[in-house]
C-alpha cells in the first residue's frame, strides 16, 4: 500500500510541475504577442495652413462676355432687276467707299435710252417749228391777217410739244438713273463678309448680292445685369479683354431695356481704330462691386461640402502639449472669385485653417501646420 501511495504522489507532483511550466510558457507567448501588436503614437500629418482674416466687406468680381461687331453691316443689292454680268468682289476682299462691286447687263437700258434720245430730238425739232409758227401767227393776228383761232391752235400745239419734250426728258433721266443703278458700289469702306450670287444670275430688285461690314469701325456689345448697371458711366473708358490682349474702350451707352431671357441690359463700347480684332470676336468685361458683409477669404481647396449643401473647413486647434489637431467649422459661401471664396461663420481673425487636402483629413487628426 505504501508503494502504491508513493507512486500516486510522484504522478501528482509531475503534473503540478508540468502545469507550472505550461503557464509560464503561455504567459511569455501572450506578453510577446502583446508587445508585437502594440501601436506607437502616430506622427502628426503635415498640412498646409493659412491664417484667417475677417473683414467687414468684400469686392464681388463679375466677369461678363459679349461680342465684337462692326458698327456698319449692310446687305448690298441692286435696286433694279437684271442679269448679273460681273461681280468683282470676293469674300474677305477689302473695298473702299464708292468702289465698284458688280455690274448688270445694260444693253436693254442702253437701247431704251437711244430710243428716248431720238424721240427727244424729234420732239425738240417739232417744238422749234411750232414755236416759230406760233410767233409768226401772233404777229399776223395783230394786223388781222390771221384769225385768233388759228393763232390759238398754233400756240397750244407748241405748248403740247413742250410738255411732251418734258416727259421725254423725264423718261431719259429715269433711264440714266437705272443705268447708274446697274453698277453696284460700296456704300462705305469695309470688307466683303459674304457673297450670295455669281455672274449669270438673273436678279430680282433687292435680291441680296453681298454682305459688307465696316473694316475698322468696331464696337463691343456686352450684356450687364441690372444690379451692376449703376457702375457703368457712359463716356468713360473701360478695359476689355480680347484674344489678342486688353484694350481700352469707351462706353457709348447702356440701353435702358432688359433682355427678358437673360435679365441684362446691353452696354455698347466703342473701340479705338487700328486694333487687330475681327467682327465676331469675344469681348470680356470685369465689373467690381463692394458689398458690406462680415467674413473672410479662404482658398476653394479649403472647402468641403457637407450635408444638405452646407460647407465646412478644418481649423487648427492647438493643444496644451504643443501639438495640434483639426476641428471642423461650418461656413457659408457668399462669393467665389477664381480660386478663392468669401465665407462667413464662426471662424475668428488669427485662426489657422487647413488650406488643401482636407478630403484625406478627419476632424481630430493630429497635424503639423505648414504655412500655405
Q: What is the mean pLDDT of residues 340-355?
A: 92
- Correct CATH for 46-59+292-371 of 2.40.420.20, 1.10.10.10, 1.20.210.10, 2.40.128.50: 2.40.420.20
Task: Return the closest-CA partner of residue 281 out of 94, 75, 66.
Answer: 66
For residue 5, is pLDDT > 70? no
Task: Return the closest-CA partner of residue 313 out of 270, 358, 267.
Answer: 358
Q: What integer pLDDT is reported at residue 1 of this predicted model? A: 44
For residue 32, is pLDDT > 50? no
For residue 283, is pLDDT > 70? yes
DSSP state at residue 187: S
Q: What integer pLDDT is reported at residue 341 of this predicted model? A: 93
Q: What is the mean pLDDT of residues 310-333?
A: 89
Q: What is the mean pLDDT of residues 12-27?
A: 51
Q: What is the mean pLDDT of residues 166-181?
A: 89
Residue 354 near residue 326, CB atoms below 8 Å = yes
Report the alpha-carbon distance of residue 137 to residue 304 in Å, rounded: 114
CA distances from 235 to 19, 62, 191, 248 (A): 104, 21, 28, 12
Condensed to tens digits (0 to 9), the pLDDT of residues 270-280 reads 988 778 888 88
Q: What is the mean pLDDT of the chain?
A: 83
Band (355; pLDDT cuts 50, 70, 90): very high
**Which neighbouring-strand residues pair with 44?**
none
For residue 8, is pLDDT > 60? no
Look at the domain 63-71+214-289 and name its fold: Elongation Factor Tu (Ef-tu); domain 3 (2.40.30)
Q: Which of 135-139, 169-173, 219-223 has the lowest mean pLDDT?
A: 135-139
Residue 67 near residue 282, CB atoms below 8 Å = yes
Residue 248 near residue 283, CB atoms below 8 Å = no
Q: What integer pLDDT is reported at residue 128 of this predicted model? A: 77
SS3 of 171, please?
helix
Condensed to tens digits (0 to 9), the pLDDT of residues 110-130 reads 998 888 888 888 888 877 776
For residue 61, is pLDDT > 60? yes
DSSP string, 116-168: HHHHHHHHHHHHHHHHHHHHHHHHHHHHTSS-HHHHHHHHHHHHHHHHHHHHH
Band (152; pLDDT cuts 50, 70, 90): low
Exposed / middle / buried, residue 279 (Cβ in 10 Å: 0-12, 13-18, 19+):
middle
Band (102; pLDDT cuts 50, 70, 90): very high
Q: What integer pLDDT is reported at residue 31 of this predicted model? A: 46
For residue 144, is pLDDT > 50? yes
For residue 353, is pLDDT > 90? yes
Q: What is the mean pLDDT of residues 206-235?
A: 89
pTM of the prediction? 0.57
Amino acid at each position: 500500500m505504501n508503494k502504491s501511495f508513493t507512486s500516486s504522489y510522484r504522478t501528482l507532483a509531475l503534473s503540478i510541475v508540468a502545469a507550472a511550466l505550461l503557464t509560464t510558457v503561455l504567459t511569455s507567448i501572450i506578453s510577446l504577442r502583446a508587445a508585437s501588436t502594440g501601436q506607437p503614437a502616430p506622427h502628426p500629418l503635415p498640412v498646409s495652413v493659412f491664417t484667417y482674416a475677417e473683414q467687414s466687406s468684400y469686392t464681388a468680381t463679375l466677369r461678363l462676355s459679349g461680342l465684337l461687331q462692326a458698327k456698319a453691316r449692310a446687305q448690298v443689292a441692286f435696286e433694279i432687276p437684271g442679269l448679273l454680268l460681273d461681280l468683282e468682289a470676293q469674300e474677305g476682299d477689302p473695298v473702299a467707299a464708292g468702289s465698284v462691286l458688280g455690274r448688270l447687263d445694260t444693253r436693254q437700258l442702253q437701247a431704251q435710252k437711244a430710243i428716248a434720245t431720238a424721240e427727244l430730238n424729234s420732239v425738240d425739232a417739232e417744238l422749234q417749228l411750232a414755236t416759230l409758227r406760233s410767233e409768226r401767227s401772233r404777229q399776223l393776228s395783230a394786223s388781222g391777217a390771221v384769225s385768233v383761232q388759228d393763232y390759238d391752235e398754233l400756240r397750244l400745239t407748241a405748248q403740247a410739244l413742250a410738255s411732251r419734250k418734258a416727259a421725254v426728258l423725264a423718261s431719259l433721266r429715269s433711264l440714266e438713273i437705272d443705268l447708274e443703278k446697274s453698277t453696284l458700289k460700296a456704300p462705305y469702306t469695309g470688307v466683303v463678309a459674304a457673297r450670295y450670287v455669281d455672274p449669270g444670275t438673273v436678279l430680282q430688285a433687292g435680291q441680296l448680292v453681298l454682305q459688307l461690314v465696316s473694316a475698322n469701325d468696331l464696337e463691343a456689345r456686352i450684356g450687364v445685369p441690372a444690379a451692376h448697371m449703376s457702375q457703368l458711366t457712359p463716356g468713360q473708358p473701360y478695359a476689355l479683354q480680347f484674344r489678342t490682349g486688353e484694350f481700352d474702350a469707351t462706353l457709348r451707352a447702356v440701353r435702358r431695356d432688359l433682355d427678358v431671357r437673360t435679365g441684362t441690359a446691353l452696354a455698347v463700347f466703342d473701340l479705338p481704330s487700328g486694333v487687330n480684332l475681327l467682327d465676331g470676336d469675344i469681348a470680356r468685361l470685369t465689373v467690381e462691386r463692394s458689398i458690406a458683409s462680415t467674413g473672410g477669404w479662404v482658398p476653394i481647396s479649403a472647402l468641403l461640402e457637407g450635408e444638405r449643401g452646407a460647407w465646412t473647413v478644418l481649423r487648427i486647434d492647438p493643444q496644451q502639449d504643443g501639438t495640434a489637431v483639426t476641428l471642423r467649422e461650418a461656413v457659408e459661401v457668399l462669393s467665389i472669385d477664381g480660386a478663392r471664396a468669401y465665407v462667413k461663420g464662426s471662424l475668428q481673425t488669427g485662426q489657422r485653417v487647413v488650406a488643401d487636402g482636407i478630403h484625406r483629413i478627419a476632424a481630430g487628426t493630429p497635424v503639423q501646420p505648414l504655412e500655405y
